[in-house]
Every structure is written in C-alpha cells, then in structure tokens.
Amino acid sequence: MNRTRLFGLLTLSVLLAACGQTPAQLTPDATQAAAPAFVDGELLVQLKGGVNSQALTSLSALGVQSVETLTTVNGAALLRARITDGQGVTAKAQQLQASGLVRFAEPNWTYQTQALPSDSYYTNGTLWGMKGNFGSGAETAWAAGKTGSKGVYVGIIDEGYQFDHPDLRGNAWLNPFDPVDGKDNDGNGYVDDTRGWDFANNDNTIYDGGTRGSLDAHGTHVAGTIGGTANDGGVVGVNHNVTFISGKFLGRRGGNTADAIKAVDYFTDLKTRHGLNIVATNNSWGGGGYSQAMYEAIVRAAKVNILFVAAAGNSGTDNDATASYPSNYDTTAGAGYDAVIAVAAIDKAGALASFSQYGKTSVDIGAPGVAITSSVPYNKYASYNGTSMATPHVTGGVALYASLNPNATAAQIRAAILGSATPTASLNGKTVTGGRLNVSGF
C-alpha cells in the first residue's frame, strides 16, 4: 500500500484521538484536525557521525545541548536535545538543517490517548467484538481449538498495564534474562526490566495505578482484548494464550517521540539478542507530525519481522487526504515490505464508527471499536470506544495467526490478516483497504 509521506516540520494534521471519544461527545468541529503538539524546547537530532567532543561543541555553538543519545545507527547518533538559546522549535530545526552538521532535526512530537468509558454500568460482559457477524470471528476460531500460544509475544507500546489482573496475569511476561537483583544482567541498559520498561518515568515499574486503579487503565484495556485469559470470570481476549510485554511510554501527560522510539527499539533488541518470538507491537495512540526518527525505528523493527499495528485515529477524517501518524507510516522503502497495519473502528452493525478515521489506501482494516468491554485496574472491567479498542483486536489476530503458522514472516502474517478480512466495498460510504477483521478461518 502507498501511504503519503510528508516531511514538513509543523504543517501536518495529526491523530489527536487514538482512542476513546464516544460519538455523542464529538463536537460539531471534531473532524477538524488540530495543530500538531510537541515538547517545547526540545528536538530530535541525528548527527551525520558519532557523538564526539567536536560535534557536541558545534551543537552547543548553535544553541543546542544533548540530553541523551537514543540510539546509534550506522555510526550516526540520534540525540534528544534541548534548545538553550531561547529560539523556537521550528526555527531551531531549520537552523540545524541548514548547518550541514545534522542528518535531520525535528520536533519531539507528543502523543495522547483519550479513551473514555461509554457506559459506566458494564454488567452484562457482552464481548461482541469476539463473535461472528461484525465481530472479529475469534469465537469460531476458539471452537476449533485455536486459542493462541504462550510462545508468541506481543509488545504493548502504550500506558503500562495491571499485570496481576485476574484476566492478565496468566499471559504477563516475566523476564528470564534479568532477575531482580539490582543489576542489568542482560546488558540492555535497563535494570531489572522484569515485566518490560516504563520509558515515561525511566523505571521498571510498568504499572503505576495502585489498588485504586487511577492510572494505566488504557494499557490494561488493550491487554485484555489481545490476550485476556479464559475461564477467569471476566473477559477473554482474541488469544487465550499469548505473552505480552510492556513498553510503557504514555504517562500522566501523554508521551513523546523520543520515548516511543526507545520503546520500539526495546522490542527490536529483545527479539534480536534473545530470540523472543515478538510478532507485533500494539500502538493505540497518536499525535504529532511525520518523524524521520520514528519511521526509522519502525523500520528497524520491521527488518526483524515485527509488525506495527496502529490506530487510525478518531477525528472522522480521511487519512488519504491528511496523513495521521503513526498509522500512516509505510515501511516498504526501508524494510522491503509494509509492516504497518492501520486500523479503523467499526460498530456492532458493521458500519464505520462515526468518529473513526478512514482511508482507501492508508487505512488497512476495520475492527470492533465501539462498546468494547475489557479489563481495567484494579481487577475491574469497563467498556470503551475508539480506534484504540479496534487496534488490539487486530494485534490479537496477528498473534493468533502466528501461533498457527510459526514459520510465517511478518509480511506473510500481514497479508493473511488483510486477505482473510470480510470484503466490504465501503463502510458508511467511506473506504478502508481490507474490509473487516475476520480471524474465524485461521
């Protein structure tokens, strides 16, 4: 699929609502894209060479100070940098681009998730998204004994999640490479990353909600749809068996590109160095404009066969006309295939949700995203709306297919997901590429 790639620094329309606004809450101008948001006074800067005293001195002379090195690719360092001379982000990025010192300079875009309960009295436990008709068809797969595998891993790049929730604890990852001892035993730079890592707070505590459950509800909801375990009295995910790992980068104030890059690279490293069968990351978030640094992180993951499943957005707009990130990234040029699956939300009638973004070429598939009941802290359940809720249905489908086809490449899994979708000419007259998710034939 050809997705539009736009390189303007601050002119792109963005995905502001990766999840959660109910149709009744959409204002008359809700389909108007807002200006991209970024971290004030910061840039992502990739040097043309490695980090050395001369390069840092040159940056300092231009009013920029390195805060941290995010990664180094082909000898070129990617820096998170602070502007020190009071100049604005746009002007400073342009100055650096013109200096000849850097490969690129761009804003550190910020991302948000805005899932809200659609019904506070969620007592019936109806998981329509798992059934046939206009759901994912997972129920039919289960009846045939297809319930997933603990040997298939997915990364949840999101908020953290309540890993000891009754419906999640059976599928929560426990890192065998780095036991709790205050040391970085696996040498990845993260001490005691037993359940994953919290890049928002730079610690190993991936769940920060406590027993009141005031935080990490969104990530917990996503996890339950991907892999809530069976027969625990609550909900069940597309997979009864799967292993999920947290790459938390969304905190109290959302997240930013620098931390999202670190999360993506964390999963790439786990697969590359430890051979974990990580087949996909779930990305139910959005915001900001095009980021070359983010694109290249997704490409690095794609090259080791990790799919990037992303929410199309909740502004009701056409992503073919106005690019929305991260769902509009296309890794074909960098990885040889498109590793991104962009997901729209559909309702119980099989129609495109009124809030969902769409696109004939830029949005791949529709999945259940209205009145989706799943796990939330603390040991509870709630119903949410949004493309954030549709996305984990697809990630769950990826993991289910991978469990049944262990030798399939990421490109083959992606083709199978889109190829098995229920064809549809349009959803409310608005099109997506592959129709509605259907895992019943796996």
**Residues tagged active-site:** 158, 218, 388
Cα–Cα distance between 274 and 288 in angstroms, integer? 32
> How many Cβ atoms sit within 10 Å of the Cβ of residue 72?
15
Cis before 378? omega within 30? yes
- For 300, list phi and psi in degrees, rounded to 5: -60, -40
Cross-strand pairs, 102: 47
Is the CB of residue 365 less than 8 Å from the CB of residue 346? Answer: no
What is d(CA 304, CA 80) in angstroms, rounded to the nearest whole number? 25
Q: Are strands 307-311 and 278-283 parallel, antiparallel or unpaired?
A: parallel
Rounded Cα–Cα distance for residues 389 and 160 (Å): 15
d(CA 16, CA 12): 12
- DSSP 3-state assignment of 410? helix
Q: Which two tokens stand for residue 427?
A: 């959803």
Alpha-carbon gap, residue 440 to 442, rounded angstroms: 6
Both tokens of 324, joined, read 């929305």
Q: What's the token pair of residue 166?
A: 């009754």
Q: CA-based Rg of the chain, rounded to a whole angstrom?
A: 21
Burial (CB count within 10 angstroms: exposed 0-12, middle 13-18, buried 19+), residue 255: buried
Q: Provide the CB-side half-sphere exposure for 259 (13 A, CA).
A: 25
* Strand order through the sheet with 102-111: 64-73, 76-83, 38-47, 102-111, 255-256
